Amino acid sequence: MVKKTGILNSDLAKVADDLGHTDLVCIGDLGLPVPKGIQKIDLALKRGEPRFIDVLKVYLDNIVVQKIFLADEIRTQNPEQLQAIQALLPEGVSVVYYSHEELKEMTKQCKAVVRTGEDTPFSNIILESGVTI
């Protein structure tokens, strides 16, 4: 049977189905390095596609998220993307900022890194899964 709704990418759907409370998943731009040993789910088709924000929207529509981590540099280097992220966040989601270098180091703790075709600076996010009530 072919899935009709939800996350259709089979690799990302499997990661999503296996998430536990506080597990981390990263959605990144096309230049974000993926640490050795961390699953890379490559959605990039060409520069700019799919957009980071479109992938994030689908993820947030399907996964309970309690906290996100962003690079502090997004505030000054890509404020439009930051606004778009904030507009998608459900109420009560905590936002934590780290330097871009610290965020890249944090990807070593992620269950997977999802690569998009996004080519704007600091379009990377780490999402901490929550629990359904």
For 11, other C-beta atoms within 10 Å of its C-beta total 15
Whether 31 is a known active-site residue: answer no
Which residue in the list 3, 14, 21, 108 is annotated as catalytic? Answer: 21
Q: What is the secondary structure of 30-99 as a DSSP string?
A: TT----TTSEEEE---BTTBS-HHHHHHHHHHHS-EEEEEEETTHHHH-HHHHHHHHHHPPTT-EEEEE-
> Which residues are known binding-site members for substrate?
29, 100, 122-124
Residues marked as catalytic: 21
